[in-house]
Amino acid sequence: MKTLPLKIILLVAALWLSCPVYAAKNILVFGDSLSAGYGIAVAESWPTLLQQKLARSHPAYRVVNASISGETAQGGRQRIAGALRQHRPAVVIVELGANDGLRGFNVADIEANLGNIIEEILAARASVLLVGMRMPPNYGMTYTMQFEKMYRTLAEKYRIRLLPYLFEGVAPGQFQPDNLHPAKEAQPQLMRNVLEKLKPLLR
């Protein structure tokens, strides 16, 4: 039996090593306590439910949750570059701004921080799904309107997908005692809200 020449062996090896490695495409959830599963088991949180759903419908994707309870848009701006380097996502779900709003931060500053996050994601050639929130009416009509409009403005400016309101369809009784964080019963609805807007980005 003839032995293959060394040149052919090396050529085959080089071609094999140059072939792309097919791995799951990461969907990075980059948010605050609303995405980190505050007050409930992580297995019950909407990002985990999203992973379970995509495992059946879009198995090429994997959900990575980099959300931190208490996170602000400013804090997210400081850590987005590291998250992008670490996870190399195909899609980033940005769910930030609620904590800034609850602390009464200037809407223009929140918008600037979210804009910077979006720009870094787009520069990394990842798609963005921006998740909007609303402020309670006791913050005043002017502030609540400016805050809600901010997400639409960002989506239009950067031409990205927008989920206008994460809590859409969540019943009043599906919140934890603080009336801020959705209970486990609300998580399937949150997942469906996100998935509806996410699907067009899953190529």
pLDDT digit string, tens, across residues 46-71: 999 999 999 999 999 999 999 999 99
Cα 201 versus chain centre, distance: 12
Least confident of 15-24, 70-79, 166-175: 15-24
Q: Is residue 1 part of a domain?
A: no
Pinpoint the alpha helices (H) of the chain: 6-18, 33-36, 46-57, 73-87, 98-102, 107-123, 141-158, 187-198
Which domain range does residue 197 map to? 22-201
Give the model's pLDDT for residue 136: 92
Q: Which two tokens stand for residue 35?
A: 């995405």
Q: CATH number, domain at 54?
A: 3.40.50.1110
Q: Is residue 139 part of a domain?
A: yes
Q: Which helix (H) or strand (E) holds 65?
A: strand 61-65
Average pLDDT, the chain: 91
Q: Is residue 2 part of a domain?
A: no
Domain count, the chain: 1
Q: Is residue 7 part of a domain?
A: no
Query: Could you tell me the sign of the dihedral formed by the alpha carbons of 145, 147, 150, 155, in that order?
Result: negative
0.75 surpassed by pTM? yes
Query: Could you tell me the sign of the dihedral formed by the alpha carbons of 114, 116, 122, 124, in that order?
Result: negative
Q: Is residue 39 part of a domain?
A: yes
Q: Is residue 138 part of a domain?
A: yes
C-alpha 111/C-alpha 150 separation (Å) is 6
Whether the Cβ atoms of residue 111 and residue 96 lie closer than 8 Å to each other: no
Examine the pLDDT at 24 and tell me if it is beyond 80. Answer: no
C-alpha 174/C-alpha 46 separation (Å) is 14
Q: Is residue 4 part of a domain?
A: no
- For the stretch 86-126, pLDDT in tens is 999 999 999 999 999 999 999 999 999 999 999 999 999 99
Examine the pLDDT at 75 and tell me if it is beyond 70. Answer: yes
- Catalytically active residues are 33, 178, 181
- The two beta strands, 61-65 and 25-31, are parallel
Q: Cα(first)–Cα(last) distance of the chain, in Å? A: 48
Whether the Cβ atoms of residue 100 and residue 74 lie closer than 8 Å to each other: yes
Torsion of CA 28, 75, 164, 142, to 10 degrees: 180
Whether the Cβ atoms of residue 27 and residue 63 lie closer than 8 Å to each other: yes
Q: Is residue 109 part of a domain?
A: yes
